[in-house]
Chains A and B, each alone.
Chain A
């Protein structure tokens, strides 16, 4: 069924990079879960910043500094509204999800000790595992793992059993980067709160596909990377409830994060500046806001519906390839398909697809525990965005078939 209000060809015109050729063929970009492409509207914002009002924020009295500060804070407000956070100061600009998670993990060092437990899902990205392991090493707390089933769905019975009054923190991705599974975070948040545990949801893979409402979810921390939502690289956000952000000590010391400094005592600035030491990625923050505006103008409901269409189509088409096994068949999935064909190594398929102009991700997707679960060295991952088309999926399927013939 064609969605009449969704004009993908018009949308594609916003993305200059989609006109590129790779190895003499039109680019088919299916590595959106790693980095999404950037529309002209967002590129223009970056160019405009450096062309017109590049200046440091929150300090100078001069006009350029004022304009840059206004634009940066306006972007923060855009992100607040997008996430329906209570206040803009609950939105901390970071360099991305990894930075956001490390900021929280660092802060909890002061709040945890031996006997405390942290719960993590088996399907996390390394960035939502390693900072917590480091935290456990420093505090003597214990990391417990919630397993998943062979479809790539979290085992919620096991979650119930692992959760107890010692549990202080629960962290889980909203959508799995390696499998595409959409996790039942509402249930996770409610149950964790019932035992007094805080919850961090890694929203890096969810944000490109749907809106999350911070107040409705009642989540304690939520993270997003701009480069996965049509924004630039090197910027992201941490949402944190005010109470929590006030409890956590600052992550880095420096300029911008202080109220008063003397050699006897430094008084930290209030939120959000307490966590934003140094000159931030100003152009990036402003462009992040513009990217969210751009996606909202298209509409997340439209995006989700269209991407679901792509997912269903691609799943059907790929399944027709003999020996192809889809890794991650959760009932609720975002537009991500991880697969292998027979015993062919994903690197080999990826290398040939690249020659055919098709960009996919291959490897363990920084989620080695997931690969261990499915006993594969890695997968080929095709991830679809709202600017992709069914014709491109046909190109992928043809390319995979060609690769299989060559490699078998």
Chain B
């Protein structure tokens, strides 16, 4: 995992990578590839408890605290959603709860994938980001105790 890099370093790295693509098709093809390589959630967690239901596609997300950092695993039934999840996990997985809580997420806008976070897409991504933050808050409380 990219534990040594800060959240913003990783976001900038992703923006850099995407700037190499000429058009949306290349971006999407790349995301589809990323989707295929997503660090998948263990099947045992693909239950209602870990499901984020969207009208369009489903997302599962699971978090575990490892040496003060949170490791996320996830999955989705739609591959483009999965690609975006892969990017989100690259940014957030391996980070400390406090950093996740304070993070400002800007890379999605800048790589031209904003439409996937629109409420009309109802693909579970917005709720997933909320869920990631909730996990961070929960683990931060646990650490402070």
Q: Which residues of A contact B (CB under 8 A)?
A: 23, 344-348, 350-352, 354-355, 362-364, 377-378, 406-407
Cβ contact within 8 Å between A351 and B80: yes
Cβ contact within 8 Å between A355 and B24: yes
| 0/1 interface trace, chain B 49-84, chain A, CB 8 Å (1 if under) | 000000111100000000000000000011111000
Cβ contact within 8 Å between A348 and B78: yes
Q: Known contacts being A347-B78, A362-B56, A364-B55, is A407 close to B123, with CB within 8 Å?
A: no
Cβ contact within 8 Å between A345 and B25: no
Residues in chain B near residue A347, CB distance under 8 A: 56-57, 78, 80-81, 121, 123
Q: Which 6 A-B pairs have the closest CB atoms?
A: A345-B78, A347-B78, A347-B57, A347-B56, A363-B56, A348-B80
Query: Measured between alpha carbons, how far is A362 from B81 in the docked complex, in Å?
Result: 14
**B interface residues, tally (CB under 8 Å):** 19
Interface assignment of B137: CB less than 8 Å from any CB of chain A: no
For B28, give its contact among A345, A362, A364, A406 (CB under 8 Å): A406
Q: Known contacts being A363-B56, A364-B55, is A345 close to B24, with CB within 8 Å?
A: no
Residues in chain A near residue B79, CB distance under 8 A: 344-345, 348, 407
| 0/1 interface trace, chain B 23-37, chain A, CB 8 Å (1 if under) | 011001100100000
Closest Cβ of chain B to A361, distance in Å, is 10
Residues in chain B near residue A378, CB distance under 8 A: 56
Residues in chain A near residue B55, CB distance under 8 A: 363-364
Interface assignment of B116: CB less than 8 Å from any CB of chain A: yes
Query: Measured between alpha carbons, how far is A82 from B123 in the docked complex, in Å?
Result: 40
A-B contact pairs, 13 of them (CB 8 A): A345-B77, A345-B79, A346-B56, A347-B121, A347-B123, A348-B81, A350-B56, A354-B115, A377-B57, A377-B77, A378-B56, A406-B32, A407-B32
Residue ID in chain A nearest B27 by CB atoms = A355
Q: Which residues of B contact A (CB under 8 A)?
A: 24-25, 28-29, 32, 55-58, 77-81, 115-116, 121-123
Q: Name the residue in A351, A363, A378, A406 with the highest tally of chain B Cβ atoms < 10 Å from its Cβ.
A: A351
Query: Measured between alpha carbons, how far is A23 from B77 in the docked complex, in Å?
Result: 26
Cβ contact within 8 Å between A377 and B28: no
Cβ contact within 8 Å between A351 and B32: no
Cβ contact within 8 Å between A377 and B58: yes
Cβ contact within 8 Å between B58 and A406: no
Cβ contact within 8 Å between B57 and A345: yes
Residues in chain A near residue B123, CB distance under 8 A: 347
Closest Cβ of chain B to A398, distance in Å, is 14
Residues in chain B near residue A354, CB distance under 8 A: 115
Residues in chain A near residue B78, CB distance under 8 A: 345, 347-348
Residue ID in chain B nearest A345 by CB atoms = B78
Residues in chain B near residue A346, CB distance under 8 A: 56
Cβ contact within 8 Å between A363 and B29: no
Closest Cβ of chain B to A18, distance in Å, is 21
Q: Name the residue in A23, A345, A362, A363 with the highest tally of chain B Cβ atoms < 10 Å from its Cβ.
A: A345
Cβ contact within 8 Å between A355 and B56: no
Not counting A23-B24, A347-B57, a sample of 8 additional A-B residue pairs whose C-beta atoms are within 8 angstroms of each other reads A344-B79, A345-B77, A346-B56, A350-B56, A351-B116, A362-B56, A406-B25, A407-B32
Q: Name the residue in B78, B80, B121 with the highest tally of chain A Cβ atoms < 10 Å from its Cβ.
A: B78
Query: Measured between alpha carbons, how far is A406 from B79 in the docked complex, in Å?
Result: 11
Query: Measured between alpha carbons, how far is A407 from B78 in the docked complex, in Å?
Result: 10
Cβ contact within 8 Å between B122 and A363: yes
Residue ID in chain B nearest A350 by CB atoms = B56
Closest Cβ of chain A to B28, distance in Å, is 6
